[in-house]
Structure 1
Amino acid sequence: MAHTAGRTAPRGKGKLAALAALGTRPGGRRHPLVAAAMVLPLAVVLGFVTGWGRMVATQASSVAGMLGS
């Protein structure tokens, strides 16, 4: 008979394990949108720390100038 029950967090691992299991698929892989939501905040912070924010602002300003805004 096929196993049809959903996955649950292992007992004893607590809230952290349940949070880590959030967005996982039955095969153990995470949904792409969940993975993106986890990675993007860190990427933005690292980007601003390394000067990415200033570069984007400069490029946006140049494009706005060419468009006549």
Structure 2
Amino acid sequence: MAHIAGRTGHRAHGHRATDVFGERPGPTRHPLVAAAMVLPLAAFLAVVFGGWDAVVLQASSVAGMLGR
């Protein structure tokens, strides 16, 4: 029974994928910085693939839910 408890205790500490590859997690990004990084790419893909109307519709729906 002791060997089972040892394994579960070892799992409780866990190994993340970053530990396996030797990378240390960096500081978290501010949400506005993340949005500033993603929005230009999202707009570009929406224009290229013709989904601009869907993007505008979703944005207006979200704005409506937020009360703006």
Which structure would you say has the larger RCO, counting Cα contacts within 8 Å and 6 or more residues apart?
Answer: 1
Calculate the TM-score normalised by the size of structure 2. 0.37
State the structure with more CA Rg: 2
